[in-house]
């Protein structure tokens, strides 16, 4: 009887450790590298925007260009959820979800909000990945600089 209890205890411990490991592993962040065309619609206004994103793990950085302002951006990707802040004359905050080469969500600025959708330009992901590789190598050796 003691042997069966001991085996059962080890089995429970193994299942608990496996479940804990899966819980901490989380979802891999969606790949958002590349050039994205954004369409924003809101309270009687609409705008076309462009952003170029770089990504290191869950952290994203990049550039933003809209019809009236441009600037840098930074944010996070958690699984398929994305949030980023655009540093422009009028600060912009975006929240949304990523689905392959498309995104959608809500944008807020000056207390007002709107809906946005984005589509990745074809081929821009490959170009951006090559630029990231080039930036992370030393020119003399071609070896990763990390």
CATH number of 87's domain? 2.40.128.120
Give 57-85 as a DSSP string: TTEEEEEEE-SS-EEEEEEEEETTEEEEE
Residue 92 domain flag? yes
pLDDT of residue 4: 62
pLDDT of residue 130: 58
Task: Retrieve residue 126's tokens.
Answer: 């490959």
Please give the tally of structural domains in the chain: 1
Please list the pLDDT of the chain residue by residue as tens digits (146 residues): 555 665 655 554 455 444 444 444 458 999 999 999 999 998 768 999 999 999 999 999 999 999 999 999 999 999 999 999 999 999 999 999 999 999 999 999 999 999 999 999 998 876 555 555 544 444 444 444 43
57: left (phi over 0), alpha (psi -120 to 50) or beta: left
Phi, psi of 3 (to 5 degrees): -65, -40
Predicted local distance difference test score (pLDDT) of residue 129: 55
The answer as to whether 79 is a domain residue is yes
Whether residue 24 is contained in a domain is answered as: no
Model pLDDT, residue 126: 64
Q: Which domain holds residue 101?
A: 34-135
């Amino acid at each position: 009887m003691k042997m069966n209890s001991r085996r059962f205890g080890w089995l429970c411990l193994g299942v608990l450790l496996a479940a804990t490991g899966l819980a901490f592993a989380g979802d891999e962040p969606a790949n958002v590298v590349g050039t994205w065309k954004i369409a924003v619609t809101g309270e009687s206004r609409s705008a076309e925007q462009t952003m170029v994103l770089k990504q290191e793990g869950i952290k994203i950085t990049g550039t933003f260009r809209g019809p009236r302002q441009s600037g840098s951006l930074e944010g996070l990707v958690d699984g398929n959820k994305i949030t980023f802040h655009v540093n422009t004359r009028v600060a912009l905050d975006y929240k949304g979800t990523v689905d392959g080469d498309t995104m959608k969500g809500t944008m807020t600025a000056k207390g007002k909000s709107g809906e946005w959708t984005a589509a990745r330009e074809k081929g821009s992901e490959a170009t951006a990945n090559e630029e990231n590789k080039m930036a992370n190598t030393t020119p003399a050796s071609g070896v990763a600089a990390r």
